[in-house]
Amino acid sequence: MADAPDLVVVANPAAGHGRAGRLIGKVTTALHRLRVTHEIRIAGSGTDLERLARASAVGGARIVAALGGDGTASLAANGILGTGAALAALPAGTGDDFAKAIGAGKLDTAVELLADPKIVDLDVIEVTTGADTRSFVNIAGAGFDSEVNEAANGMTVNLGATGTYIAALLKTLSRYSPAAFTIQVDDERMELDAMLVEVGSGRWTGGGMKVLPNAVMNDGLLDVCIVEALSKPAFLRAFPRVFLGSHTTHPKVRMRTGTRVQVEADRRVLVYADGELVGSLPAIFEIRPAALPVVVGPDAKGVR
């Protein structure tokens, strides 16, 4: 795909239970109104979207805008890494936590940013599980959170981001038990029974849960949240605090920062990154500072 325009929108029409597909026309109309020259390219699958994003960047696009959710933005980021093209997020998924973090949480606002884009180099995180290495741009989870993601992805009823997550959480909690984790953050090694481990550079996950409230997306550091083993009633009592980010003071929560995180468990534990399954433990997370140019809004949270 040579001679791409400055802006290419790669769309995942299936994102948000089909919401992204229904919004393609709205995005096109808004960009025409703003007199932004662009092209829309529609993906048939996740692999296709990553390929389209890369081909657009290699073909000359200065900005590749991902129309969809967190997974769509992550796929586009993997596609354009190393090309010099910038990523923009057009939120049309279930959670859209990455878009919120970069100040593009509302679709109308995100489109308007493309008329006069401000571009900042943000960190990217590499996660290695087995022989596979992928990059992601927001947050990864292992343990209870990854099981909730698995349950949420299997739900056929659209309850919205928060409703879907809570329904999946309650379903998962009834059968989940803590695992024995070994976690190393740089030189600190921890062995403990835990509910979950979260690693990332963004602040929100699961459609608005502020799990890493102090994360900065361009500080060259990974933020880590570890929730130690809790009884089910204690977990449910503590859970609402995550929406405000006040869970960090709970005695069973450990917060850390570092540049390399290694996580192992005594049983098979899935790893989800940006809402998509990337493998299972053991996993190694490493930061790639300032690796991805991103279009950000003036109210971007956690971007210096």
pLDDT tens for 61-107 read 999 999 999 999 999 999 999 999 999 999 999 889 999 999 999 99
Q: Distances from the Cα of 260 to the Cαs of 74, 204, 218, 290, in angstroms?
A: 20, 20, 15, 16
> Domain residue spans in the chain?
7-116, 129-289
Q: How large is the average pLDDT for residues 108-114?
A: 98
Region 146-159 average pLDDT: 82
How sure is the predictor about 165, in pLDDT bands with cuts at 50, 70 and 90? confident
Residues 117, 111 contacting (CB under 8 angstroms): no
123, amino acid identity: D
The topology under which CATH files domain 129-289 is Tumour Suppressor Smad4 (2.60.200)
The closest alpha carbon to 125, from 21, 48, 234, 212, belongs to 212
Backbone phi, then psi, for 31, in 5-degree steps? -70, -35
Backbone angles phi, psi at 237, to 5 degrees: -65, -40
The CATH classification of domain 7-116, taken from the options 3.60.70.12, 3.40.50.620, 3.10.180.10, 3.40.50.10330: 3.40.50.10330
The whole-angstrom separation of Cα 120 and Cα 97 is 18
What are the beta bridge partners of residue 189?
Answer: 184
Q: Which helix (H) or strand (E) holds 48?
A: helix 46-58
Pairing status of strand 38-42 against strand 179-185: unpaired
Give the model confidence (pLDDT) of 247-260 as tens digits: 999 999 999 999 99
* Mean pLDDT on 179-202: 98
pLDDT at position 2: 53
105 burial via Cβ count (<10 Å: 0-12, 13-18, 19+): buried
Percentage of the chain lying above the pLDDT 90 cut: 86
CB-based contacts of 139, cutoff 8 Å, min separation 6:
97, 198, 199, 200, 201, 202, 204, 205, 211, 212, 273, 274
Residue corresponding to tokens 């899935």: 270
For residue 220 the two structure tokens come to 């060259």
CB count, 10 Å around CB of 117? Answer: 19
pTM for the full predicted model: 0.94
- Which residues, including other chains, have CB under 8 Å from residue 60's CB and lie 6 or more apart? 2, 3, 4, 5, 6
